[in-house]
Structure 1
Amino acid sequence: GDNKKVDSEYVRKGTCSIFAFVEPLGGRHHTSVREHRTAVDWAEEIKYMVDEMYPEAEKIILVMDNLNTHKPSSLYKAFNPEEARRIIKKLEIHYTPSTAAG
């Protein structure tokens, strides 16, 4: 008389990080999958965006989440100071508001 009860258990098979650049008005987007989400991973993705996606742009406006690795200082972890400064000069960074309850 009782209904059979089944408990489906989630089994984690690993993790990855997905980086996505989206330009809705221009109809452009780029995604990449990386094993981790380190400062160097972020810096390498930003360099790709600056040098490959928008090489002619004078200024690139970024709107992104406020993670600890998503900082201009991360570029200095990945590249020499001159290269990091070159990339930073092309960026105007705006962070999304924190969702932390006050």
Structure 2
Amino acid sequence: MEDVLDVYELPYDPMRPVVCMDEKPYQLLGDARKPLPMRPGDDQKIDSEYTRNGTCSIFAFVEPLGGTHHVSVHEHRTALDWALEIKYLSDEMFPEAEKIILVMDNLNTHKAASLYKAFPPAEARRIIKRLEIHYTPKHGSWLDMAE
């Protein structure tokens, strides 16, 4: 826990941005019955019954001190999905940064090995060298500001 808190105490440095990353599964829900429209002085009426239209995974990057954020949606939560998001973080969000200080939880796909599954070894290594990873402790993912 102290490691993550120490990271949050670092002064803002655009060449070493502190970025928090989280991903969350999300249910895609639809209306089982058509909602009743709004009327003057009355809210729209929505029935509590719904249809389940599948799931997706939402990825979020938040740079608290720099004010940058990015959200994307993937159909699944796989190692490849995570690797593509990390490459986006590195190459699109912070291409000029010397090092990206990344805070995230210990999910099984949040590992350097996922980059090697997605990219050739030289490309995976290039991305890894741009990162300084700090994992939140088990049962402490609430320390991740993106969560």
For normalisation by structure 1, the TM-score amounts to 0.85
Give structure 1 stretches of 5+ with no counterpart: 1-7
The equivalent position to 1:38 in structure 2, one of 78, 87, 90, is 78
Shift of 1:27: 0.6
Query: Are residue 84 (structure 1) and residue 84 (structure 2) matched?
Result: no
Unaligned runs of 5+ in 2: 1-47, 141-147
How many residues matched? 93
Instruction: Name which of 16, 21, 25 aligns with 2:65.
Output: 25
1:98 matches 2:138: yes
Match for 1:27: what amino acid?
G
Tell me, in whole angstroms, the C-alpha distance in 2 between the residues paired with 1:18 and 1:70.
14
| Structure 2 match to 1:54 | 94
Q: Kindly indicate which of the two structures has a greater share of residues assigned to strand.
A: 2
Larger RCO (alpha carbons 8 Å, 6+ apart): 2
Aligned-residue offset at 1:72 = 0.6
The amino acid that maps onto 1:32 is S
Detail structure 1 runs of 4+ shifted over 6 Å in the superposition: none
Match of 1:72 in 2: 112
Q: Distance in 1 between matches of 2:50 and 2:109?
A: 29
Q: Distance in 1 between matches of 2:60 and 2:133?
A: 15
- Tell me how far apart the structure 1 counterparts of residues 108 and 49 of structure 2 sit (CA, whole Å): 32
